Amino acid sequence: MPYTESIEAFIFGNNDALAHYYNEWKAELFLVAYHYMRNSDDAEDVLADCFEKLMNMSIERRKEKFDRQKIYLKHLLLVMVKNRCIDILRTTENRRRIQQNLFRINKDKTYAFENMILDKESFKSLCHCLPKKESQILTMHLDGHSHEEIAKNFTLSEKTVKNNITIAKSKVRLLWQDFMA
């Protein structure tokens, strides 16, 4: 598959080579993102995320995608933009659904929301609002896995796992307070 110099430069680590394609395909990619997001700022954020992800791709991964698998850069970007939009929309919908379910479950309670106890199932539901890695670590912790097991699973130190769990718990508590306010 013949490449232009820009794509070849990108494959071998020159991220500046993407600027040409960003300028050339920005309008088309923006329209795809806008079709899903229905908001200019969100569509621009999606484009930025996708190009950032490409720039962070390792040289070996670039060679795999573009040399060995013969994937066209523009086609990959179109799929990335579409998938990123869908991920954002799903996350937003899941958060809305969780919030509605929490209010519906607790709507008929006779005591005040401030006195409610966050049970394990509600806590796990709120975990899905966290970034993927934090959610996975916290879920494993709640399922009874040791810090050592979690650290091995994610190739992290035990101290990093403990910090992630603490941070994730704090975020879930804040979400709970926001839902119950």
Q: Is the dihedral of CA 61, 54, 91, 122 positive or negative?
A: positive
Give the highest mean pLDDT range of 29-33, 131-135, 173-177.
29-33
Query: According to DSSP H, which parts of 57-72 are helical?
Result: 59-62
Higher pLDDT residue, 115 or 55?
55
Determine the pLDDT at residue 119.
Answer: 61
What's the confidence (pLDDT) of residue 138?
85
Write down the mean pLDDT value for the chain. 84
- Tens of pLDDT, residue by residue over 13-34, are 999 988 888 999 999 999 999 9
* Rounded Cα distance, 176 and 181, in Å: 9
pLDDT digits (tens, 9 = 90+) for 83-125: 999 999 999 888 888 888 777 766 655 444 444 455 666 666 7
Q: What is each CA distance from 117 to 114, 169, 181, in whole angstroms?
A: 8, 14, 14
**Contact yes or no for 83/32 (Cβ under 8 A):** no
What the chain holds in terms of domains, given with CATH numbers, is 5-89 (1.10.1740.10), 109-180 (1.10.10)
Q: What is the pLDDT of residue 3?
A: 57
CA-nearest of 131, 126, 138, 120 to 99 is: 126
Burial of 112 (0-12, 13-18, 19+ CB in 10 A): exposed
Query: Looking at this protein, which amino acid is placed at residue 101?
Result: N
What backbone phi and psi angles, to 5 degrees, belong to 120?
Answer: -60, -40
Mean pLDDT of 61-87: 91
